[in-house]
Structure 1
Amino acid sequence: MIPWKHLDTATIPNSGGELRLKQRGSEFSIMLGSNELMNSRLSGSEEALATMAAERLAARRHPHVLIGGLGMGFTLRAALASFPGDAEIVVAELVPAVVAWARGPMAEIFAGSLEDRRVSIELGDVGGVIGAGRRFDAILLDVDNGPEGLTHAANDRLYSLEGLAAALGALTPGGLLAVWSQGPSAAFARRLRQAGFAVDEVRVRANKGRSGARHVIWFAKRG
């Protein structure tokens, strides 16, 4: 078996720990400590975050979309394929090295998606973009493995009742907040409803097949 090769290490701001990029043949992995945050072989649920959101907003013209977390670009590429050609897509990424990896060792995986005219990258906390007074038709969040993630303390505000209220205010009428999570969270589903969203919880296979791990996506609509 081909051994893993360590390519780079990046520090997450605000004492969030370190990310490590690893490669084994054509396979890539991003690690946080001993936990694998993402793997280039498993993209099904991250793609569904965008494709299922686009289906729910199919009648929107010129949609403005915010993606929180670049990762390996699964959600971005699916958004480019699923939203109309006049969409505007903003990607907020907290760790600058992740963008550098996308344009460097993982460039083949990203397949030029960062250079698409519909895409703009903003370095920084997605919560800051949400709170900046702009309006979006869809906000797609794939941050820290979900609301009960691995660096949870640093993302409490984003997934708190206060953070969800900010997301609600940043959405256009009928807009959609879609949140990816590695697993379920009854407490987070309750907070979404308390914040004023109509909520649909969907479980999606990580590997796009009929077996393997299931991840959770909440589709929360502003009334």
Structure 2
Amino acid sequence: MSSPVHPARPDQPVTLDRRTGPYGEVALREHGERYEIIANGCFLMDTSDGRSERLLVDAALNALDGARGERTTGASVLIGGLGVGFSFAHAAAEPRWGRIAVVEREEAIIDWHRSGLLGAISRDAQDDPRSVILHTDLIEYLRTTTHRYDALCLDIDNGPDWTVTDDNGNLYSPAGLAACVRRLTPGGVLAVWSAQPSAAFEETLRNAGFTQVRTEEIPVARGVPDVVHLAVRPA
């Protein structure tokens, strides 16, 4: 359900679209030269940089090379969260990925890419024959699909300790990580973006059966670095 938007002062963000759905409210805002996605009042991401989202995909591919001891080609990747489309576009620009699936539960975000203002970022990726956007909940998809992937790149929250909705916490639980293990091929890589490191999540990954668990920092323009939690399903 969409609600009307109202103009803001020049120094304030302008809400371009706001919708209420099964998971609460999601809004697209224009703030100067950037667009922002806000979910249930929580800032998710904007179009100002995209370095973290791109490095999430790169980190997964590099970890896959390391886990398999060779340069990977034709690998499949599942990206959890479409967002502003940086991860999706970056994956499609890498010829070594053989299949690219993106899971997004918010219909509004998919609309903003397919026919809206965010299409400029993801248009080439959407047109790529290797890619598909799946309108479904990531946790439900991981639990029910029979597809397996060489890499899972997950970016649906601000991290394991800072989720957008309470039920997203299930993804980082032992049951959620067990579903991730089942969806990975032997030697496959799980990469989880986070605004801050989490030692507790690293321990949960190890307890779930992952190996080569580590955290890589991603420098940002201001503030503390973002991180990517990496883990490998044993071969």
**TM-score normalized by the length of structure 2:** 0.85
Identity %: 37
Alignment of structure 1 residues 88-167 onto 2, 5 Å: 88-103=99-114, 104-131=116-143, 132-167=145-180
Instruction: Report the structure number with the largest CA radius of gyration.
Output: 2
Unpaired segments of 5 or more residues in structure 2?
1-9, 66-70
Quick one: distance in 2 between partners of 1:48 and 1:115?
22
TM-score of the superposition, structure 1-length normalised?
Answer: 0.89
For 2:48 and 2:57, locate their aligned partners in 1 and report how far apart those are by CA, in whole Å.
Answer: 18
C-alpha distance 175-143 of structure 1, shift in aligned 2 (>3 A): same
- Give the deviation of 1:32 after TM superposition: 2.8
Among 68, 89, 113, the alignment partner of 1:77 is 89
| Mapped pair 1:202 → 2:209 | no
1:20-31 alignment runs, 5 A limit? 20-31=27-38
What SS class does the counterpart of residue 112 from structure 1 fall into?
A: helix
Judge conservation of contact 1:10–1:95 (CA < 8 Å) in 2. Answer: no
Show the counterpart of 1:184: 197
Q: Any conservation in 2 of the 1:165–1:195 contact (CA below 8 Å)?
A: yes
Matched residue pairs, number? 217
- Of 14, 19, 34, which residue of structure 2 is paired with 1:5? 14
- Counterparts of 1:52-71 in structure 2, within 5 Å, are 52-58=59-65, 59-71=71-83
Relative contact order, higher structure (CA 8 A, sep 6+): 1
**Counterpart Cα distance in 2 of 1:12 and 1:216:** 30
In structure 1, how many angstroms separate the alpha carbons of the residues matched to 2:196 and 2:95?
A: 26
After the TM superposition, list the runs of 4 or more consecutive aligned residues in structure 1 that deviate by more than 6 angstroms.
none
What is the RMSD of the two structures over their aligned residues, measured on CA atoms? 1.8
